[in-house]
Amino acid sequence: MNIRLLAVDIDGTLLDSRARLPDAHRDALVDVSARGIEVALATGRSFHFTQPIADLLPIPLTLIVNNGALVKDRSGVSVMRRLLSRDVARRVLADTHVHRESVAIMFDRPIGHDMRQMIYEHMDWSHPNRRGYFDKNKAFIAQSAVPLAETLTEDPIQVMFNGSVAPMRALVASLRAMPIADRFSVAVTEYEKRDFALIDVNGAGCSKGSTLARWAAARGLTRDEVMAAGDNLNDVEMLDFAGTAVVMGNATDAMKARGYWVTGTNDEGGLADAIRMRFQT
pLDDT at residue number 109: 82
Residue 228 · residue 5 · CB < 8 Å: no
pLDDT in tens, 207-247: 999 999 999 999 999 999 999 999 999 999 999 999 999 99
Between 129 and 272, residue with greater pLDDT: 272
pLDDT in tens, 30-45: 999 999 999 999 999 9
pLDDT at residue number 211: 98
Give one DSSP letter per residue of 63-103, joined into a string.
Answer: EEEGGGTEEE-TTS-EEEE-PPPHHHHHHHHHHTGGGTTEE
pLDDT at residue number 227: 98
Q: How many residues does the chain have?
A: 281
Q: Give pairs for 259-264: CB < 8 Å, separation 24+.
A: 263/229
pLDDT in tens, 136-192: 888 899 999 999 999 999 999 999 999 999 999 999 999 999 999 999 999 999 999
Task: Read off the pLDDT band of 113 (50, 70, 90).
Answer: low
The answer, yes or no, to whether residue 1 has pLDDT greater than 80, is: no
pLDDT at residue number 236: 97
Alpha helices (H) along the chain = 23-34, 47-54, 86-95, 128-137, 165-176, 208-218, 236-241, 253-256, 270-279
Provide the 8-state DSSP code for 115: -
pLDDT at residue number 114: 59
pLDDT at residue number 116: 81
Query: From residue 164, how far is each of 127, 128, 190 by CA, in Å?
Result: 11, 12, 9
Query: From residue 205, how far is each of 45, 56, 79, 200 by CA, in Å?
Result: 18, 31, 18, 13
Backbone angles phi, psi at 189, to 5 degrees: -125, 120
Among candidate residues 166, 168, 164, the one with its CA nearest the CA of residue 196: 164
Q: Specify the 3-state DSSP secondary structure of 277.
A: helix
pLDDT at residue number 115: 63
Q: Which residue ranges form the domains of the chain, and what is each CATH number? A: 5-81+207-279 (3.40.50.1000), 86-203 (3.30.1240.10)
pLDDT in tens, 47-94: 999 999 999 999 999 999 999 999 999 999 999 999 999 999 999 999
Residue 95 · residue 178 · CB < 8 Å: yes
Task: Read off the pLDDT band of 281 (50, 70, 90).
Answer: low
